[in-house]
Amino acid sequence: MSRKRLVVAMSGASGAPYALCLLEELLRQGHEVHLLVTEAGWRVLKEEHQWPIQEREQIFYQRFGHLPGTLIYHPIKDIGASIASGSFRIDAMIVIPCTMGTLAKIAHGISSNLLERTADVMIKERRPLILVPRETPLSSIHLENMLKLAQAGVSIVPAMPAFYISPTHIDDMVRFVAGKVLDILGIDHQLYQPWEGKA
């Protein structure tokens, strides 16, 4: 398996466990991951994982620095970062979880921070962009924005865990969603057991 250069971005929707599971698996497999976290994303990490967010990127290096992959953290306001340019080759970008506000800005080409700028670059360069929205119920505005992005080639992967895997713990459901993202990326994994049919 070839080493990929990927961007993983966390916005402020509930669902930080999905992002952490995906990040851990990518780094465990030795990929290069450029990480972005919005201000609201840091708030979610504090609420859902009790992370001391004043430490910022250091907590990611402390948690994942032992893995064989390469982790590169970019401040969300650094619009001069490497990943903001189309000349910097990125294999794919994943926004997980993705708020409806972030999704709307991406759908309309609004780039007010590094996450939105990088997503805009992925679309204009026709590179894989995966959004994992986590919201319910969905309004017609949300659905129209998703359709607009899907028509532009963006993969929309709602955080909808399946039950055919017979989950016994919340981690099983988290791993399923992260695994679906890896499926789209063409990265082999063992985060969940694929459906093989039953007699």
Provide the annotated binding site for FMN: 12-14, 38, 99-102, 134
Helix, strand, coil shares of the chain, percent, nearest 5, are: 45, 15, 40
Angle between helix 16-28 and helix 57-64 axes, rounded to 10 deg: 50
Q: Which residues are annotated as a binding site for dimethylallyl phosphate?
A: 164, 180
Q: Which residues are annotated as a binding site?
A: 12-14, 38, 99-102, 134, 164, 180
What token pair was written down for 18? 């999905």
d(CA 35, CA 28): 15
The position carrying tokens 């992967």 is: 157
Beta strands in the chain (DSSP E): 5-10, 32-37, 70-73, 92-98, 129-133, 155-156
